[in-house]
Amino acid sequence: MARVTGWIRRLLDKPGSVDLAPFQRIVAEAGELEAGLRDRTEIMPSDADRIGADRIGADRIGADRIGADRIGSAEFCAVVREAARRALGERPFDVQLAGMLAMLDGHVVQMATGEGKTLVGALTAAGFALRGRRVHVVSVNDYLARRDAEWMAPLYGALGLTVGWIAESSTPEERRAAYVSDVTYAAVSELGFDVLRDRMCTDPADLVVPAPQVAIVDEADSVLVDEARVPLVLAGSADQGVALPEMAALVRRLSRGYHYTIDEEGRNVFLTPKGTDTVEKALGVDLYADPGVVTQVNLALHAHALLTRDVDYIVRDGRVHLINASRGRVAMLQRWPDGLQAAVEAKEMLAASETGEILDSLTIQSLIRRYPEICGMTGTALAVADQLREFYDLRVAVIPPNKPCVRVDEPDRIFATAEDKEQALLEEIAERHATGRPVLVGTLDIAESERLAEALRAKGLDPVVLNAKNDAREAEVVARAGARGAITVSTQMAGRGTDIRLGGGRAEEREREVAALGGLYVIGTGRHESSRLDDQLRGRAGRQGDPGGSVFFVSGQDTLLTAYLADESLPATDADGVVRDRHAAYLISHAQRVAEGVNLEIHRNTWRYTRLLERQRGELMERRDKVLHGDTAARAMLAACPERYRELTEAVGADAVQRAARQIVLFHLDRCWTEHLGFLSDLREGIHLRALGRLNPLDEFNKESVPAYRAMLDEIERRSIETFEKADLTRDLDEQGLRRPSATWTYLVQDNPFGSEWDRILSRVAGALKRRKR
Amino acid sequence: MLTAITRAFRTPDLRKKLLFTLGIIVLFRLGSVLPTPGVNSENVAKALEQAQAGESNNIYGMVQLFSGGALLRLSVFALGIMPYITASIILQLLVVVIPRLEALKKEGQAGTAKITQYTRYLTIGLAVLQSTAFVALARSGQLFPNSNLPVLLSNDVFPLVTMVITMTAGTAVIMWLGELITDRGIGNGMSVLIFAQVIAVFPAELINIYRLSPFKFAVVMITGIAMIAFVVFIEQAQRRVPVQYAKRMVGRRMYGGTSTYIPLKVNQAGIIPVIFASSLMYLPQLAVTMWGNSEKPNVVVEWLAQNLMQGDHPVYASVYFLLIIFFTYFYVSITFNPTEVADNMKKYGGFIPGIRPGRPTAEYLGFVLNRLTATGAPYLGFISLIPVVALGAVGASANFPFGGTSILIMVGVGLDTVKQIESQLQQRNYEGFLR
């Protein structure tokens, strides 16, 4: 029966319906070959005889020759299994091999927590590398990239492959060395920044990143969907931020409701007429005649009213650090764009950090799409299967767990008010703790985690807190979290990728003891904006068939409900403050679906609008490459002003002229691209207004940006020729106005405060019009 | 425009899209002339001729326009796109009324997909109803009141059921064709299909006129082309109200100018007011048909029959004109709410330079919009009246194909589609320096 339904689902192309049967057949075959390989002393070649793609030494395995075309066969499975067993002491389970085969086929596999995704990723990487491809394993952070690379190194060594990793602190030489390895582990942002930095090079010898071939994406849903709309930014030419402390002081005097209003989603703030009067009087200007001042006021107000310390950011070492909302970690590289960072620094009365001009930016989605072959793995892929298909043309294969999951997921406990919820939460924690069962409490932000820990201490309990503020102790805290009697209060840091072993990971005996108590108990203090994040949190309990339990506490005052369910309220409570009406559960999942829908719409819009930009960038980079690697610039100059060219050649020699022409064209090309990016972001900000004239904003955007691109090309030409005519080649070009940004740095832009609202009006306005037009 | 299309044909993937769209249109037209089994097509053709010779204004005028003549021919695609349009209007309204649907809509794409699915089911339901009604009319001979030829081959139940099923299936196929165009072709599928139906009748009508008198043909052609040019001109006209966004600090810019503005169109209302007004103008005709034949004619009905039946009668013309003006203002006021727009701008940090956000902005927008509509409304009125009045003078009004509604639909859909083609073209063609 299950096979028939599976067949029908595939026919209808339902998500997660990749057929596993062929993979399972191969794995079963591999099982039969296993015994034969056990006794063979050498199954793999030494590093010395690595030649071409046929790397697994055929002579040593006898007749089972495994060439590039046999990767993915039963023999291959048996060999890598044996290799992993000998090199790492871990024998891959059948499901892990099936996962590897699905990934070699270019799918995203969904595997439950604790099923050993790292090993599956490494086996897949080895498979691709043995086919002769260069493999990049894309991690979510530096720590994981390095840990996984070092952990799996023996396996790669056993198979005769080299492995390297990249961290934020790696030097260009180290990076180059890592990139020439067969398999390279790197955080997605590092890969992106290397690509961005490469595109500013003026000398071919400075290039770092080789042509992309295969990407294996760890935590695929997070990287490919949640972060896909986050642009990686290369910035340059530093100057000090300009937010005025006076502005911060001025807005501090304003009061909410009277002087300014915050919209119901809590995303926008604006002055009331009263507030405008007050500000105009204080500053002595006509506010709406001078955009510069309005911007300052708006930014200060935004920083004051919408961004909360310890929720959106923390202050550490005199600097503002952003918190990544979906991971709960400090986002080291992220900054708010366009002056907001400086405004927040002014609010906290810190010294303004340097700001810069965006030289180029790249979204993670475009970065990953550069790879001709993509596959991925995660614990929660099914929920985003449609998006993976829409944006990356990837299918999801659901790998069953090695041992069935016996975790008990209790229904949500729903309360009317936040107080009732917190009260019940504390009681629940105390009650579970009394039995000695380890408890993991997942909170939504840092402030909440600290408040809760405080309240628990007041009750005489001893919780350990894990949040962005003490991320240094992360490994230690996680190691203890499964121990008997442990209470761990965490933000979403303990969501993804955290492996909590029962008993604290020390003795078998303790593990059995904790398992007998019922295993780890996970309590969520609120549902997240995405059901995937809920599932990730639940997934901390019940790894590898362990017992465990999970429950979420929800109140009608949670942000999820107030923001996405503004005009509906939960059903009435029973006498004890608990909501038991079945409708409440529906409303909560509805709010979550609304949130997911909004985020999807943002993602899709971002993608639609960046697609043209990506095309223009690709085209321009092609030209840039020609200039960089050839004499295109010199020939163009010769054609444009032959006399000057001859004159210069006589003066300083042909080589020097060629080099100068290249420098000049590259300089203006990069400069004009920066300006073009500025123009496009301006254009995009207000393009939704076109919908009011019943025009399609996307078409309008394209219509305006294409001529702008052409104008930019002409401008590059004009400026290059102008400089070429004037420049004195005997002196340094830098001093003649061709100074490149002295320092470049990279960061991720936290784009949400601006990006999303726009997309929302667009859909609202367009929706309203469409509705009426029909 | 022509250069855009020739360039589009030179771009491989665009050419594919265009040919795909054309192919679908051809299929669609084929289905529109293919008779449903059980129809006596010879008799239908004769009855159609008689109907045209007699009463030119029949009650199905608007429906006939949208079905490209397929309806009275009782073809496989007789019902055309109307059931789908009606179904989507009904669901749009239901979304406002039924909380469950509203909740679905809020859930974004997944929810909208479900609503679309409901729309499709409702379309099928409506198609069953409508086809049954038409088959019943055809069977009782009321479809062509002027003709007494039997249009059906048989009045048995089985052939009738076959006809209903065929027409319903035809509607489902049309729906699918439309969605195919939207997905893989160029333009909005439904609009393109309406466009095809509207212009489908042109060649036949024009040949008719030419046979009557080449002079009339020349006049009709010249007037028609001049009007199309005029409509294109006005439809493109807009007033740009500059807007500034002040939530970001921005660096220096190469290209100045204001790319951020609200485009207010001269004809902000589009075609809807004309459709409303002409629907209302059918009411007097309906009244006359229903009560006009009684022994003792009512005074009101008699007056209606005298003044509001003939398209070129001054009273008819002025009532029609005034109705259009009224509906234009009415429609603009419900589709463009200056307060809502001003609030939105305020919320996201936008303002019109020199004008405070909030109420002052709303007032300013309202003022500009009223002024614009003062030009736009008479324009719509004239476009709808000119063919009736001017061509009545040369005696060609009866079968003049360039009615106001047709021209507005043609130009509207045509402009949208060409814009889309251009936008896609622009994304694909870059040439110039260093290449």
- Please name the residue of chain B whose CA is at the shortest distance from the CA of residue A243: B249
pLDDT band, very low/low/confident/very high, at A674 (cuts 50, 70, 90): confident
Between chains, do B432 and A590 touch, taking CB under 8 Å as contact? no
What mean pLDDT is predicted for residues A71-87? 84
CA distances from B391 to A52, A362, B57, B222 (A): 82, 60, 16, 12
Between chains, do A713 and B432 touch, taking CB under 8 Å as contact? yes
pLDDT of A205 strictly over 70: yes
pLDDT the model gives residue B14: 85
Pick from A276, A339, A604: which is nearest to B356 by CB? A276
What mean pLDDT is predicted for residues A90-115? 89
Residue in A12, A271, A280, A288 to test binding to B, most B beta-carbons within 10 Å: A288
pLDDT band, very low/low/confident/very high, at B285 (cuts 50, 70, 90): confident
Query: ipTM of this complex > 0.95?
Result: no
Percent of chain B with pLDDT strictly greater than 90 = 20
Q: Averaging pLDDT over each range in A225-229, A475-479, B148-152, B322-326, which range is the top one?
A: B322-326
What mean pLDDT is predicted for residues A702-723? 88
Between chains, do B433 and A713 touch, taking CB under 8 Å as contact? yes
Q: Averaging pLDDT over each range in A212-216, A526-530, A649-653, A670-674, which range is the top one?
A: A212-216
Residue in B89, B235, B328, B348 to test binding to A, most A beta-carbons within 10 Å: B348
Between chains, do A338 and B250 touch, taking CB under 8 Å as contact? yes
Least confident range from A128-137, A497-506, A625-634: namely A497-506
Tell me which of A410 and A768 has the higher pLDDT. Answer: A410
- Please name the residue of chain B whose CA is at the shortest distance from the CA of residue A700: B423
| Residue-wise pLDDT tens digits, B30-40 | 998 898 888 88
Which positions in chain A touch B114 (Cβ < 8 Å)?
none
pLDDT of A529 strictly over 60: yes
Alpha-carbon span A89 to A158, nearest angstrom? 12
Domains of chain A and CATH, by start: 2-162+174-183+193-223+369-398 (3.40.50.300), 242-352+745-774 (3.90.1440.10), 408-580 (3.40.50.300), 603-742 (1.10.3060.10)
* Cβ-based contacts under 8 A for chains A and B: 196
pLDDT of A763 strictly over 50: no
CA distances from A126 to A101, A115, A154 (A): 12, 19, 12
Work out the minimum CA distance from A624 to partner chain B, whole angstroms: 9
Pick from A600, A682, A773: which is nearest to B259 by CB? A682
pLDDT of A546 strictly over 90: no
pLDDT the model gives residue A757: 37
Which positions in chain A touch B260 (Cβ < 8 Å)?
682-683, 685-687, 689
CB atoms within 10 A of CB A593: 20
Tell me which of B402 and A447 has the higher pLDDT. Answer: A447
pLDDT the model gives residue B140: 79
What mean pLDDT is predicted for residues A189-200? 87
- Please name the residue of chain A whose CA is at the shortest distance from the CA of residue B99: A568
| Residue-wise pLDDT tens digits, B82-114 | 888 888 878 877 877 788 888 887 787 778 888
Least confident range from A94-98, A614-618, B256-260, B312-316: namely B256-260
pLDDT the model gives residue B211: 84
Which positions in chain B touch A696 (Cβ < 8 Å)?
419-420
Pick from B107, B246, B348: which is nearest to A295 by CB? B246
Token readout for A445 is 């932000």
Binning chain B into helix, strand and coil, the percentages to the nearest 5 are: 70, 5, 25
pLDDT the model gives residue B246: 77
Fold that domain B1-201 belongs to in CATH: Preprotein translocase SecY subunit (1.10.3370)
pLDDT the model gives residue A759: 42
Token readout for A567 is 């005009």
Which positions in chain A touch B81 (Cβ < 8 Å)?
none
Between chains, do B247 and A761 touch, taking CB under 8 Å as contact? no
Pick from A288, A598, A706: which is nearest to B351 by CB? A288
Which positions in chain B touch A632 (Cβ < 8 Å)?
434
What mean pLDDT is predicted for residues A719-726? 87
Q: What is the 3-state secondary structure (H, E, C) of A657-726?
A: HHHHHHHHHHHHHHHHHHHHHHHHHHHHHHHHHHHHHCCCHHHHHHHHHHHHHHHHHHHHHHHHHHHHHH
What mean pLDDT is predicted for residues A313-317? 86
Between chains, do A689 and B262 touch, taking CB under 8 Å as contact? yes
Tell me which of A425 and A748 has the higher pLDDT. Answer: A425
pLDDT of B191 strictly over 80: yes
Q: The whole model's pTM is what?
A: 0.77
- Please name the residue of chain B whose CA is at the shortest distance from the CA of residue A261: B347
Between chains, do A772 and B265 touch, taking CB under 8 Å as contact? no
What mean pLDDT is predicted for residues A514-520? 86
Work out the minimum CA distance from A185 to partner chain B, whole angstroms: 35
pLDDT band, very low/low/confident/very high, at B255 (cuts 50, 70, 90): very low
Tell me which of A472 and A549 has the higher pLDDT. Answer: A549
CA distances from A356 to A335, A492, A747 (A): 11, 31, 11
Which positions in chain A touch B354 (Cβ < 8 Å)?
288-289
Between chains, do B272 and A773 touch, taking CB under 8 Å as contact? yes
Quote the Cα angle for A652-A658-A661, to 5°. 105
Which positions in chain A touch B262 (Cβ < 8 Å)?
689, 692-693
Minimal CA–CA distance to A131: which of A214, A222, A228? Answer: A214
pLDDT band, very low/low/confident/very high, at A58 (cuts 50, 70, 90): very low
Question: In sequence order, what are the beta bridge partners of A215?
Answer: A136, A374
Work out the minimum CA distance from B371 to partner chain A, whole angstroms: 15
Work out the minimum CA distance from A286 to partner chain B, whole angstroms: 9
- Please name the residue of chain A whose CA is at the shortest distance from the CA of residue B415: A695
CB atoms within 10 A of CB A575: 5
Which positions in chain B touch A302 (Cβ < 8 Å)?
247
Alpha-carbon span B5 to B422, nearest angstrom? 8
Torsion sign, CA atoms A180, A186, A190, A191: positive
Least confident range from A135-139, A192-196, A677-681, A714-718: namely A677-681
Token readout for B40 is 């006596």
Least confident range from A295-309, A649-663, B38-52, B239-253: namely B239-253
Tell me which of A556 and A6 has the higher pLDDT. Answer: A556
pLDDT of A472 strictly over 80: no
Work out the minimum CA distance from A395 to partner chain B, whole angstroms: 18
Work out the minimum CA distance from B223 to partner chain A, whole angstroms: 28
pLDDT band, very low/low/confident/very high, at B26 (cuts 50, 70, 90): very high
pLDDT the model gives residue A755: 34
- Please name the residue of chain A whose CA is at the shortest distance from the CA of residue B251: A357
Pick from A288, A590, A772: which is nearest to B334 by CB? A772
pLDDT band, very low/low/confident/very high, at A751 (cuts 50, 70, 90): very low
Q: What is the overall mean pLDDT for chain B? A: 80
pLDDT of A22 strictly over 90: no
pLDDT band, very low/low/confident/very high, at A186 (cuts 50, 70, 90): very high
pLDDT the model gives residue A507: 62
Q: What is the overall mean pLDDT for chain A? A: 81
Q: Averaging pLDDT over each range in A40-44, A569-573, B17-21, which range is the top one?
A: B17-21
pLDDT band, very low/low/confident/very high, at A638 (cuts 50, 70, 90): confident
pLDDT of A756 strictly over 70: no
Angle between helical axes of A654-686 and A752-773 (0-180°, round to 10): 50
pLDDT band, very low/low/confident/very high, at A484 (cuts 50, 70, 90): confident
Which positions in chain A touch B336 (Cβ < 8 Å)?
692
Note the Cα A332 to chain centre separation in Å.
Answer: 13
Which positions in chain A touch B115 (Cβ < 8 Å)?
none
Superfamily of domain B209-400: SecY subunit domain (1.10.3370.10)
pLDDT of A605 strictly over 70: yes
Question: CATH 1.10.3370.10: which residues of chain B?
Answer: 1-201, 209-400
**What are the backbone angles phi and psi of residue A165, rounded to the nearest 5°?**
-140, 160
pLDDT band, very low/low/confident/very high, at B168 (cuts 50, 70, 90): very high
Alpha-carbon span A92 to A152, nearest angstrom? 13
| Residue-wise pLDDT tens digits, B403-422 | 777 888 888 888 888 888 87
- Helix or strand (DSSP H, E) at B413: helix B404-428
pLDDT of B332 strictly over 70: yes
Work out the minimum CA distance from A493 to partner chain B, whole angstroms: 28
Which positions in chain B touch A692 (Cβ < 8 Å)?
262-264, 336, 341
Alpha-carbon span A120 to A42, nearest angstrom? 23
Torsion sign, CA atoms A762, A764, A768, A773: positive
pLDDT the model gives residue B400: 57
Alpha-carbon span B121 to B172, nearest angstrom? 10
DSSP code at position A225: I
Sheet of A330-331: strands edge to edge? A313-316, A319-323, A330-331
pLDDT the model gives residue B395: 57
Angle between helical axes of B12-33 and B189-200 (0-180°, round to 10): 50
Pick from B259, B336, B433: which is nearest to A704 by CB? B259
pLDDT the model gives residue B108: 76
What mean pLDDT is predicted for residues A253-269? 81
What mean pLDDT is predicted for residues A442-453? 88
Q: How many helices (H) and strands (E) does chain A have?
A: 28, 24
